[in-house]
Structure 1
């Protein structure tokens, strides 16, 4: 039976329904960008859930989450320890690298902040997943050429601590050059694929480039923030039909898994209106899509 993906959220009397689980045995980790949404009460969380308990409930449904708060400040040790305690064995945390590094200093003189951040996140131990350099769109005032960005990025990647996984996200489509991807590959840093208006569709990217630069892939389904907020200000149900895009992504992810590449993927509410619903759609299409690969 197919999921009623566009149904109204459950009433306050209903308990949340179980969400689809990833296929057994595959290194496929699909979650959401952040977990702190009151609008998920009654669908993902119990209607009377307290914000302090959201993460615990979240981890009952999904194996991984992307932490958004680390973009705004380096977490304290007590914050990181609380994340660890509130999640079960086997859970994974990905996290955004602080904006002071990617947006304010733009990779200049940021080694102290990067070290402080990685040391804090390392307290998660075996639960720590990839750490994301999320860069904004840069005008030519910042970087006159794609190579100028590569030259700025290279020394930072050379100094990354061993034993941790990193990914790099760009939003300038003409920066997709062989030198950029080869730099990531040389340091085993993943190229972060994003579903976003400023970047090419995934089918175009994988046709033109080998986008696998590490032993894992990092995917973010972001959508068009401005367009979505013109449609809804609530994040309790799907309001956009993403079946066509999701079908394409499922096919690409199957290809990655066939190459023995682990996949971390994160849905944003702005992609279709309700991240948990987007995950449900993903697994619904996964189960229905014929394939001889994983």
Structure 2
């Protein structure tokens, strides 16, 4: 019994669970107390979860002052996992993307030790016809990332599942992001020493995100078992949940925390106040 508990605690210490983004107005009065100002959402969020995927960076590289603010108001052990701007993946499609990628990496380095893996999310029309661009980009992005930035990639076309793509990612120690997403088969493949799992659901499934509206407990249990069964193969697992998975991602993330034995991140007194 004691050995089982030790294994459970050890797994929990290697897992991070959070949501995709934190600045949702619908969460005011539900996850966030109504009196909490939007500028203080992230510090409040970090009282419950130990990681977050930054969704806003998908639209543009943030200001350095904003990144430093995020680092200032969260606990020492907290992790931010930013999505790379769509300029790089959707518009440039990895071609002539060095300057923008380096600028993004350098900006996010202002998070210091709180910078988690950086996610490249590719569009559905990025297919095997662009493998040459992808394979040319992989060694370059690892060079630009250096020793302090880990990289994960999520593909949304079936032609990029498995085979040469997985081998190439593994060769460069880049994580293939697993996803539970309606347009793609559920998949879990380890290509690095960390696991990056995204529980997305179906976009637009719920009209509002103030409360849970679906029940995917069976799916969550299945994913938790997958993480437990494969634990010897990775050093860290990061799981991020979208509002569209059950309608209210904080609730879903708390369920996943419980399944993995993760306790709430910190006491409120451990979080520094707002800079502003």
How does the TM-score come out when normalised to structure 2? 0.86
Structural mapping, 1:246-265, within 5 Å: 246-265=220-239
Q: Check if 1:151 corresponds to 2:125.
A: no
| In structure 1, C-alpha distance between the alignment counterparts of 2:227 and 2:162, rounded to whole Å | 22
CA deviation vs aligned residue, 1:234-274 (integer Å, no higher than 9, x gap): 21111111012111101111123232431011111011100
Equivalent residue number for residue 95 of structure 1: 82
| In structure 2, C-alpha distance between the alignment counterparts of 1:257 and 1:185, rounded to whole Å | 17
Name stretches of at least 5 consecutive residues in structure 2 with no aligned partner.
1-7, 262-276
| In structure 2, C-alpha distance between the alignment counterparts of 1:79 and 1:286, rounded to whole Å | 32
* One of 209, 212, 215 as aligned partner of 1:238: 212
* One of 219, 223, 246 as aligned partner of 2:197: 219
Equivalent residue number for residue 157 of structure 2: 172
CA deviation vs aligned residue, 1:46-82 (integer Å, no higher than 9, x gap): 1211101100100111000010111111111111111
| In structure 2, C-alpha distance between the alignment counterparts of 1:239 and 1:258, rounded to whole Å | 35
How many residue pairs get aligned? The number is: 249
Q: Check if 1:276 corresponds to 2:250.
A: yes
CA deviation vs aligned residue, 1:68-113 (integer Å, no higher than 9, x gap): 1111111111111111111111110001000000001111111110
Q: Check if 1:110 corresponds to 2:97.
A: yes
Cα pair 1:173 1:198 within 8 Å, conserved: no
Q: 1:214 Cα deviation (Å)?
A: 0.6
Q: State the SS of the aligned residue for 1:54.
A: helix
Higher relative contact order (CA 8 A, sep 6+): 2
Cα pair 1:27 1:257 within 8 Å, conserved: no
| In structure 1, C-alpha distance between the alignment counterparts of 2:55 and 2:9, rounded to whole Å | 26
How does the TM-score come out when normalised to structure 1? 0.80
| In structure 2, C-alpha distance between the alignment counterparts of 1:90 and 1:283, rounded to whole Å | 16
| In structure 1, C-alpha distance between the alignment counterparts of 2:91 and 2:233, rounded to whole Å | 37
Larger helix fraction of residues: 2
CA deviation vs aligned residue, 1:206-248 (integer Å, no higher than 9, x gap): 5xxxx1111101111111013x1xxx32211111110121111
| In structure 1, C-alpha distance between the alignment counterparts of 2:67 and 2:254, rounded to whole Å | 28
Q: 1:280 Cα deviation (Å)?
A: 2.3
